[in-house]
Amino acid sequence: MALFHPYRPQCEGSLLVDNYYPAYQRVRNTALELGRRLEEAGYTVGKTSLPYKALAVASGRCVSLLNGLAAHATFGTLFVMEWLRVEGVHADPSPRLASFLEKELFSTRRVEEEFLALSPEAQAPIWWRFASLYRHEGCGDCGLCVRACPGGALAEGRVAREKCLREVQQQGYVEDERVAEKLGSRVLGCHECQRVCPVNEWKPVAPEVDGKALCLAALAGKKALAPFAPLLGNNYLRPVRLAALCLNALGNERKDWARPVVQAMAPTEEKLRLAIARYLGKTAESEWEVKRMIEEEDYLRFIRINGEGKVNWQVNHYFQTENWGRVRIRRKGDVYELTVKQEKGNGEGLWEHNAPLPKEEAEKAVAEGLTAVTVRRYLGLALPVEVAPYLGSLLTERHTYCIEGLCIELDHSTYCDTQDWEVECEVGSREEWTRAEAYIASHFGEGKEDLPKYDRFVRRLKNIQ
């Protein structure tokens, strides 16, 4: 007994969760309820173990396509199906499938059992040869699906399942950068071959699963994913795998709305740590700061007029990486953060990459040097040396003020037997940059040279060595 249920693919969005998955949950639940009622009526009901696509084609309701899908006369390839084996009705395969398998297996008895005893690698070519006998008459000439497949799964005259992105998604995050890029914004599903296939009427509709909500739930853990079970089923709600796929998609699309959540995490699962590192590396923050070195008397005068503000102490531990970037581990209390700042070029500010770092990793880096493995794991960046030597530390007393819509920070830093004073303001636009410059000039004058703390530290270190 066959149950066919059509669906429509979703509109493209930041995170793609194909509408196939909710449709399959509905047809599966229907099959379970129907089976229960048939059993109550006295029938013996079970699941057939034959490939569903084989049964769909063998039944005469569908034909096969070169991309490995079955095409229904009404629904095209945009459908899901379930099959129930009801005693006395589908106790044996359909006649034409049975006849084919008997020839393939050189047997006239126990066709289904012998077929299923084969390995999946042995079953696949048998099914492919059977499907080729009942192929859509127009399939094979256009080549649209072959060209559209992002994984190149259809380019070898067969369906290379190991290259199909649906199969890749079953593994969760893939460390291979090239494969990761091919996944694009796809979290669950890839309908590229269906999107271009002439047998389908392509009328996208709104997604049934909110990709952003699913991502945040996956990052929060298993309990947060429970509301998605009716739409996706529990098999797809594995937090580590799902969160890794979501972060992979967000990194490819350079979407950074999950950064605050991700940076607050301390995962233990390696897959998720790799996905976080890649995501943070792909969505580095753009840093614009107006900085001025100031005199101690100006620093003290501003505090007398405006109060202490919000005061915190922080220690910057610096590492030597030549001209690759400014690398530090910052400690605030018992919290450590790994940061890499790299020039954009053309005076366009900095790319700032940040990730929380476990205390033991930070202490090891200070004692032995920062390794390329650590930078790659937590930031997704390729350090040009195996180990970046530890240079030393800079202690800063920071006073923070919110004034006239600007975040003004006064720093008193001590390092290498010297000290200095600085005012800085982080901005997000050229308009804010202009306002910050005007404010700082009016309260502190034009100021002195405004080298970054890292550069001042390194210069002073060289002078005293």
Q: What is the mean pLDDT of residues 421-427?
A: 91
Q: What are the strands, taking DSSP E only, across 295-448?
A: 310-319, 326-332, 335-343, 350-357, 370-371, 387-388, 390-403, 406-415, 418-427
- The pTM (predicted TM-score) of the whole model is 0.63
Top pLDDT among 257 and 49 is at 257
| All structural domains of the chain | 2-138 (no CATH), 151-189+210-283 (no CATH), 285-464 (2.40.320.10)
CA nearest to 9, candidates 256, 196, 213: 196
Residue type, 333: G
pLDDT band at residue 371 under the 50/70/90 scheme: very high
Quick: pLDDT tens for 146-198: 888 988 888 766 778 888 898 888 876 656 777 888 888 999 998 888 888 88
Angle at 177 between CA 171 and CA 178, to 5 degrees: 95
DSSP, collapsed to helix, strand or coil, labels residue 167 as helix
CA nearest to 353, candidates 363, 338, 369, 333: 338
pLDDT band at residue 112 under the 50/70/90 scheme: low
pLDDT band at residue 326 under the 50/70/90 scheme: very high
d(Cα 160, Cα 147) in Å, to the nearest integer? 14
**Cα separation values, 145 from 66, 129, 134, Å:** 9, 20, 19
pLDDT band at residue 44 under the 50/70/90 scheme: confident
d(Cα 370, Cα 325) in Å, to the nearest integer? 13
pLDDT band at residue 286 under the 50/70/90 scheme: low
